[in-house]
Every structure is written in structure tokens, then in C-alpha cells.
């Protein structure tokens, strides 16, 4: 398998047609080796338009979804980022290239260990993986410039919005199958938030976030 050709095809055929046109993001996807973050059993699927299984019943998001979230988060070099749901560490690696510092929370101890090893092998030193339940809120290092949820939730976690700086952004995939929306919430002042939902997709659930009851009386 020609890895560079497969990477090029992933970017040109999956990611660019999904309105990921930021040249910095596209360059990053060509230099951060996605295959190094994919479990050995699934290496051949590293560049395929699908979610890749990880230990503990978790998944890597599809490449185009990762790329679009990265683009929409618009992380700057001076910013501090919180990620919920580290998985194999690939998104943390991408974020680390753009941010000053990344703290990534992973509920599954096996995945947290795997992600740490992957980031170390990739030579990334400004991303820290913690074995914590992100649904319980953010670490004491907040507030953050960007909070990214690498998975879906039923609704925007209000507790996490409190950990955003003014001007900070939270990006998550929100809703229930078959319709979920990428949701970008920007904190415009101490009390105000602006929300946009620029695109639709479907993604696996993050664990332990509240699921509202759907019973109608």
C-alpha cells in the first residue's frame, strides 16, 4: 500500500469536498501520520471514509469529520485547548500542532495509555492525556480558548460552557441518530453565547453525558 498516495487521496477525495479548504489544516493532515494512531489490526483502513474501532468499544471519527471540526475550531498558536474523548490521540496530535497546549481527557484507561504512547512516538510534547471522565467537567487549568468533544452528545454540555474564556469556542456533534449537527458555541461575553450549526453528520456517543428523556406526556 502506497501510504502517501492513500493520504493524498483521503485529503483530495474525502476531506476537501467536505468544505475543508483551510490550507494549514490540509497541510497538517498531510504531515501528521494518521496511520500511526490506528490500531495495528485496522492499519489498512487508516485513510478510509469510516469510523475505525478502538479498544473499549470506542471509535476514531471519520477523517472528514475530524478535519472539518479542526477547521471550524480555528485554533490559534497562543490558545489552550481541552479535548474530551482522546481515543487513540490523533485529534490531540492535530490540535497540539495548532495550539500552545492541549489537555485531553479519556475515560478508558487502556485508550489513555495508548494515546500517550502514540503522542510520544509522534514527538508531541504539548498535549497531555489524562484518564478522567470529561462529562464531570473540566480540569482546574481552565478557562480554555477551545473545548472540543471528539464524539457526539445529546445536547450541548452547559457545565463545559462555563469553562470557556470570553471569545472561546466549544465544538461538538449534538443530537440523536439519524440527525446530528456539528455545533459551534462561541462565548461572546460573561453571560452570552452564540451558537451555529454549520453541518450535519453522525458520530458515536461520548460516555456518561446526560441523555434527556424522550417520553411525551
pLDDT tens digits in sequence order for the chain, 217 residues long: 799 999 999 999 999 999 999 999 999 999 999 999 999 999 999 999 999 999 999 999 999 999 999 999 999 999 999 999 999 999 999 999 999 999 999 999 999 999 999 999 999 999 999 999 999 888 889 999 999 999 999 999 999 999 999 999 999 999 999 999 999 999 999 999 999 999 999 999 999 998 886 655 5
Query: How many other C-beta atoms are found inside a 10 Å radius of the C-beta of residue 31?
Result: 9
pLDDT value of position 137: 81
Q: Could you please report the per-residue DSSP string of 103-157?
A: EEEES-HHHHHHHHHHHHHTT--SEEEEE--GGG---TT--EEEEEEEEEESS--
Domains of the chain, start order: 3-201 (3.40.50.150)
* Angle, CA of 36, 40 and 41, to the nearest 5°: 140
Looking at residue 207, what DSSP letter applies?
Answer: T
Task: Give the DSSP H or E segment for 154.
Answer: none
User: In 3D, which of 83, 59, 58 has the Cα closest to residue 70?
Assistant: 83
What is the phi/psi pair of residue 101, to 5°?
Answer: -150, 140
Q: What pTM value is reported for the model? A: 0.95
* Closest of 30, 85, 35, 77 to residue 205, by C-alpha: 85
Instruction: Give the three-state DSSP class for 120.
Output: helix
Amino acid at each position: 500500500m502506497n501510504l502517501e498516495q492513500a493520504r493524498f487521496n483521503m485529503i483530495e477525495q474525502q476531506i476537501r469536498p467536505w468544505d475543508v479548504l483551510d490550507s494549514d489544516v490540509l497541510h497538517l493532515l498531510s504531515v501528521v501520520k494518521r496511520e500511526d494512531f490506528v490500531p495495528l489490526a485496522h492499519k489498512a483502513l487508516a485513510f478510509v471514509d469510516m469510523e475505525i474501532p478502538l479498544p473499549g468499544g470506542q471509535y476514531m471519527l471519520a477523517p472528514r469529520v475530524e478535519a472539518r471540526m479542526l477547521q471550524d475550531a480555528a485554533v490559534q498558536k497562543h490558545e489552550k485547548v481541552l479535548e474530551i474523548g482522546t481515543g487513540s490521540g490523533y485529534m490531540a496530535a492535530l490540535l497540539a500542532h495548532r495550539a500552545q497546549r492541549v489537555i485531553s481527557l479519556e475515560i478508558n484507561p487502556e485508550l489513555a495509555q495508548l494515546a500517550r504512547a502514540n503522542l510520544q512516538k509522534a514527538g508531541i510534547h504539548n498535549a497531555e492525556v489524562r484518564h478522567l471522565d470529561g462529562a464531570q467537567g473540566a480540569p482546574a487549568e481552565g478557562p480554555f480558548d477551545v473545548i472540543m468533544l471528539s464524539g457526539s452528545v445529546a445536547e450541548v454540555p452547559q457545565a463545559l460552557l462555563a469553562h470557556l474564556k470570553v471569545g472561546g469556542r466549544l465544538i461538538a456533534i449534538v443530537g440523536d441518530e439519524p440527525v446530528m449537527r456539528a455545533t459551534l458555541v462561541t462565548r461572546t461575553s460573561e453571560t452570552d453565547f452564540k451558537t451555529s450549526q454549520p453541518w450535519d453528520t453522525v458520530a458515536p456517543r461520548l460516555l456518561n453525558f446526560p441523555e434527556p428523556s424522550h417520553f411525551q406526556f
